[in-house]
């Protein structure tokens, strides 16, 4: 677990502009060696070996992938085509997996580098809140789709609808849920007064519960019966359905008020600030789906980079002591959130890296790898992990 905290703390310390070494801030050294820092970070995040979850099924599919089997593949066919083509070039599954992760990691890095006021603070926020899940746990098809969506951001900012929708459709060929992102191209500015927006947000957080969603689905199913059959089973599996104010929900409310309190500064001083403000607010509304739907994160993650850059900006403009204490509280929450995410799952620890294992000739068979982290979770928690 310590590896994750070292990396997260490193990005916080480097981006803070307060720590000095040899009369120069750590930010100076960070900027000087930025490419090396992010290369090492990419190797760490993208090189996971026995960490993660979905790779077990993907590895089997990869070695069985051929043109005659494509008709049996039930998910988006483009991913299967990618595996077939890749097998001609990359016979090893983990090299294929790492190549996919590195490609998407670079797409995110480019976006943060271009638009974030402090790329190190952005990664202090992004890695624990989103990056660990995307690159260590790794929902592979969705991650690739999200890479294409991130490429589309530039065309939201520069108002090029044709290129925007091209990238989103390419992403949908790997995971169709990203199509949800298309209507938000047209919502680049939220003009609702902050007081009214606050009321709507709090009402949304309180009223949009599992029971109410099931009630709505029940009404819809009177006209479209398949709705209940398809979605109600997913909803009732959510782990926090009875927690209106979980720690995560409370922090999302804090982030909401923190952002709207700085609305004018964000829209005026942050490049493309009106778009970043709007997308961040949309992200915070969608976080409620992550509580009700186990796969609800797929909607909120579409807006996550915008949210991270917006929070990076407000994180840095806090000058007086009270605001600095508030920023410290947010930083402590990030570390607490990281600990909870890592400790409550089997996918992150023990950490192992394919590149290191391959270099030291410590590669293992599938059965050993598949059960390694699960067995450790059992020893650590005294119980089997519940999927």
d(CA 321, CA 324): 5
DSSP state at residue 179: G
249-287 pLDDT, tens per residue? 788 888 999 999 999 999 999 999 999 999 999 999 998
60-106 pLDDT, tens per residue? 999 999 999 888 888 889 999 999 999 999 999 999 999 999 999 99
Question: Would you state the pLDDT for residue 237?
Answer: 47
Whether the CB-CB separation of 297 and 143 falls below 8 Å is answered with no
The neighbour count for residue 8, using CB atoms within 10 Å, is 21
Query: 215 or 69: whose pLDDT is higher?
Result: 69
Q: Residue 51 in 3-state DSSP? A: coil
When the pLDDT of each residue in the chain is averaged and rounded to a whole number, the result is 88
pLDDT exceeds cutoff 70 at 1:
yes
Whether the CB-CB separation of 129 and 301 falls below 8 Å is answered with no
| Lowest-confidence region among 44-53, 223-232, 290-299, 322-331 | 223-232
DSSP state at residue 296: T
Residue 122 token pair:
């952005």
Quick one: pLDDT band at residue 56, thresholds 50, 70, 90?
very high
Q: Rounded to 5 degrees, what angle do the CA atoms 115, 151, 170 make?
A: 165
For the CA atoms of 202, 208, 209, 213, the dihedral, rounded to the nearest 10 degrees, stands at 180
Q: Rounded to 5 degrees, what angle do the CA atoms 283, 288, 291 make?
A: 130
Mean pLDDT calculated for residue range 345-366: 94
Quick one: pLDDT band at residue 348, thresholds 50, 70, 90?
very high
Q: Residue 357 in 3-state DSSP? A: helix
d(CA 123, CA 127): 6
Question: Would you state the pLDDT for residue 225?
Answer: 62
Mean pLDDT calculated for residue range 320-335: 81
Residue 236 token pair:
């009732």
Quick one: pLDDT band at residue 241, thresholds 50, 70, 90?
very low
Three-state SS for 132-184 is HHHHHHCCHHHHHHHHHHHHHHHHHHCCCHHHHHHHHHHHHCCCHHHHHHHHH
Whether the CB-CB separation of 279 and 302 falls below 8 Å is answered with no
Question: Would you state the pLDDT for residue 239?
Answer: 45
d(CA 180, CA 105): 22
d(CA 103, CA 84): 18
Mean pLDDT calculated for residue range 301-312: 96
pTM over 0.75: yes
Which region, left, alpha or beta, applies to residue 248 given φ > 0 means left and ψ of -120 to 50 means alpha?
Answer: alpha
Distance of CA 197 to the CA centre of its chain: 25
Cα radius of gyration rounded to whole Å, the chain: 21
Quick one: pLDDT band at residue 335, thresholds 50, 70, 90?
very high
- Cis check: omega of the bond before 22, within 30 degrees of 0: no
């Amino acid at each position: 677990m310590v590896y994750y905290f070292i990396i997260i703390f490193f990005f916080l310390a480097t981006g803070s502009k307060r720590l000095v070494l040899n009369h120069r801030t750590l930010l100076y050294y960070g900027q000087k060696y930025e490419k090396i820092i992010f290369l090492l970070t990419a190797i760490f995040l993208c090189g996971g070996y026995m960490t993660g979850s979905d790779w077990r099924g993907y590895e089997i599919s990869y070695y069985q992938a051929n043109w005659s089997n494509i008709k049996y593949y039930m998910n988006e066919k483009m991913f299967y085509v990618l595996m077939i083509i890749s097998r001609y070039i990359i016979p090893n599954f983990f090299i294929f997996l790492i190549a996919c992760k590195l490609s998407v990691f670079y797409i995110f890095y480019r976006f943060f580098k271009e638009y974030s006021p402090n790329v190190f603070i952005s990664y202090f926020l992004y890695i624990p809140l989103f990056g660990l899940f995307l690159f260590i746990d790794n929902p592979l098809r969705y991650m690739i789709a999200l890479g294409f969506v991130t490429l589309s951001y530039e065309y939201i900012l520069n108002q090029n609808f044709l290129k925007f929708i091209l990238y989103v459709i390419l992403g949908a060929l790997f995971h169709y849920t990203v199509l949800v992102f298309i209507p938000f191209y047209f919502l680049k500015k939220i003009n609702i007064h902050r007081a009214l927006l606050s009321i709507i947000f709090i009402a949304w957080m309180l009223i949009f519960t599992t029971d109410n969603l099931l009630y709505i689905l029940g009404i819809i199913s009177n006209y479209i019966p398949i709705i209940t059959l398809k979605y109600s089973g997913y909803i009732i599996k959510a782990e926090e359905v009875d927690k209106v104010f979980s720690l995560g929900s409370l922090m999302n409310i804090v982030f909401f008020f923190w952002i709207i309190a700085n609305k004018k500064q964000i829209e005026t001083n942050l490049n493309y600030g009106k778009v970043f403000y709007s997308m961040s607010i949309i992200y915070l509304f969608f976080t409620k789906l992550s509580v009700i739907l186990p796969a609800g994160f797929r909607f909120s993650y579409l807006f996550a980079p915008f949210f991270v850059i917006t929070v990076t900006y407000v994180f840095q403009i806090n000058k007086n002591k009270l605001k600095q204490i508030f920023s410290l509280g947010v930083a402590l929450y990030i570390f607490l959130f990281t600990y909870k995410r890592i400790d409550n799952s089997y996918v992150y620890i023990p950490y192992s890296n394919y590149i290191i294992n391959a270099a030291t000739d410590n590669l293992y068979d599938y059965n050993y790898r598949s059960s390694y982290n699960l067995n450790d979770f059992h020893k650590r928690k005294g119980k089997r992990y519940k999927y």
